[in-house]
Chain A
């Protein structure tokens, strides 16, 4: 393919640039447009079917519905599930604004389950509160959002692009001023100048290699390769909790959710090989994953999702959900294996590692306004550190980021774009095309991700983590030699560089936190104890502008704004109970 000159490029201007048109990104665009901003969505896939919601979603995992639960319960639940290391203000937003979001989605046409009294039929899966709200027509979610983005009053403000992939955020004097990327079909070089940039590029889901060995057989949508994490890092933003990996209990080989959240309310649950329950709560946490791993490795393994005891009609109902919406090929998989829920329980396994704040607590550091530590740069959704934020949290933070970014962009100056950064990004994108016979991306990526499994999969130890860092440094050379022949291959090559960045961040953060915490997510075999005296704090990493390497900083846990019954803060910092500075959403006033 022909490599374009650095100066041979399409240039686009907008007030708010949204990177990723998934869950958080579409909502961010809608809200920014509503606030008068001209919005550009850059989406590497196609907005209609991209991201975690590619085919929809079975339900809301974390809606605090008035009368069913309180924001205080939810914040306390999530605080405990994260061993207390949370910025409660960020969680409080999801807790108090989630219900308004449910209603907004309803006004767009999303349907939520109601009981015979027309009340939201929330279910209990978490340790204490009931926050799980099924979506009987969950496959419509993305369609509805897409339709909204193309509606008459939004269309004039929002430009949606597909197959456009930014690789770097551009900064001037430490402020985000745009991005640089390319068209993954034509190879065209693209620069964007923006008043504010919202990163909503999803989880780092292509980090560990699935046990199947298939590069794209990941739990997360494999388009989400950690692009957002790498872009935020190179823009100078702080990331936090990167050592707190995402690991999920899944259907073995299929690698999709099992899914206890769906099956639980119908009477399904997880059992070990002896048919006994081994966790008292099916809510996904590092603690639960430690128990899953222990069970798998004991003589009681493997583990199963047990449904075979349920009546035929109930199983049909479960199949009706599990085989149609979120991952509709689940039925095809079971059919191929000859597994019928009626006579066989479903073998489960644990996933490869990833980084995700939707499910775990690893992401770009944001405050309760979705602001990163780089002015003009926002992050929302799975890549932004609001613990266990799931789908409704992605919507809420998309909304928050969209509004704040639109306001920020109004008064933001528009400096000329930094040519040195544009040149560096050009090199990152097109270099593989100048060496088309170099090792192809599938081989390089396989090797990189096998090292991730070899050295980062918990339990972690100092020696393995150090070997991992060596391997990831070595992989820089492989990446510099990688070859590509088409714009599509260039996309995959750029993703490999993001995966490498995330692997290095994961290894270095895990090495830095010299204790064990969060169950399996940060289990250090060489230091099995939790060390509250030294480590009851966030561990933030960022790019050292002077050396280009990674630097670390400990951030204290902010005073709680919601009491956490039964949890004693090891640092003794008193609560600041009135939620000062956190605006209460309409529904809670």
Chain B
């Protein structure tokens, strides 16, 4: 069945320049499991728009690559 894909502004942004290959800390810590490693780039990214804007991802990142923005609907 054909399905529409819709874009969503996701709150958590990862600075790919800074993100370290092989690290998965933010992905491991997110309570909602909303982050993943992009298999193409090896960098973390937000794979679903599910976020409590709580902050463990940013707090645990060793290189400050994670920015937690407030989800668009609340901003």
A interface residues with partner B (beta carbon < 8 Å): 45-46, 48-51, 54-55, 162-163, 184-185, 212-218, 221-223, 253-255, 327-329, 332-333, 336, 437, 488, 491-492
> Could you tell me which B residues sit within 8 Å of A by CB distance?
1, 3, 28-33, 48, 50-56, 59-60, 68-71, 73-75
Is A216 touching B71 in the complex (CB atoms < 8 A)?
yes
- Chain B residue nearest in CB terms to A437: B1
How distant is the Cα of A50 from the Cα of B33 in the complex, in angstroms?
11
A240 to chain B: closest CB distance in Å?
A: 28
Q: Assuming A46-B28, A329-B70, A437-B1, is B33 touching A55 (CB within 8 A)?
A: no
Residues in B whose Cβ lies below 8 Å from that of A50: 31
From the candidates B50, B55, B75, name the one contacting A328 in the complex (CB within 8 A): B55
Chain B contact residues: helix, strand, loop or mixed: loop
Chain B residues contacting A327 (CB-CB under 8 Å) are 53-54
- Taking a contact as CB atoms under 8 Å apart, the answer to whether B29 and A254 are in contact is no
Q: Point out which of B51, B52, B55 has the most chain A C-beta atoms below 10 A from its C-beta.
A: B52
B74-A255 in contact (CB<8A): yes
- Asked if B74 and A221 sit within 8 Å, CB to CB, the answer is no
Question: Which chain B positions have C-beta within 8 A of A214?
Answer: 71, 73-74
Contact indicator B32/A216 (Cβ below 8 Å)? yes
Q: By the criterion CB–CB under 8 Å, are B50 and A46 in contact?
A: no
What CA separation (Å) do A208 and B68 show in the bound complex? 24
Known: A216-B71, A254-B70, A492-B50. 16 other contacts (CB 8 A): A48-B56, A50-B31, A54-B55, A55-B54, A163-B33, A216-B52, A221-B54, A222-B52, A253-B74, A254-B74, A327-B54, A329-B53, A329-B68, A329-B70, A333-B75, A488-B48
Give the distance in Å from the alpha carbon of A545 to the alpha carbon of B29 in the complex: 40
A217: contacting residue among B56, B69, B74, CB under 8 A: B74
CA distance A212 to B52 in the complex (A): 13
Q: Which of B33, B50, B68 has the most CB of A within 10 A?
A: B33
Q: B74 contacts A212, CB within 8 Å?
A: yes
Residues of A within 8 A of B30 (CB): 45-46, 49
Complex: A216 Cα to B31 Cα, angstroms: 12
Contacts of B50 in A (CB 8 A): 215-216, 222, 492
CB distance from B58 to the nearest CB of A (A): 8
Residues of A within 8 A of B33 (CB): 45, 163, 184-185, 488, 491
Q: Within 8 Å CB of A255, what residues of B?
A: 74
* Smallest beta-carbon distance B53→chain A, Å: 4
Docked pose: A255 CA to B53 CA in angstroms: 11
- Tell me the minimal C-beta distance from B66 to chain A in angstroms: 12
Question: Within the complex, what minimum Cβ distance (angstroms) separates B11 from chain A?
Answer: 9
Cα A255 to Cα B71 with chains together (Å)? 12
Are A216 and B51 CB-contacts (below 8 A) given A49-B29, A223-B31, A336-B70? yes
Q: How far is the CA of A313 from the CA of B55 in the complex (A)?
A: 26
Q: Which of B28, B29, B31, B74 interacts with A333 by CB under 8 Å? A: B74
A337, chain B: closest CB distance, angstroms: 8
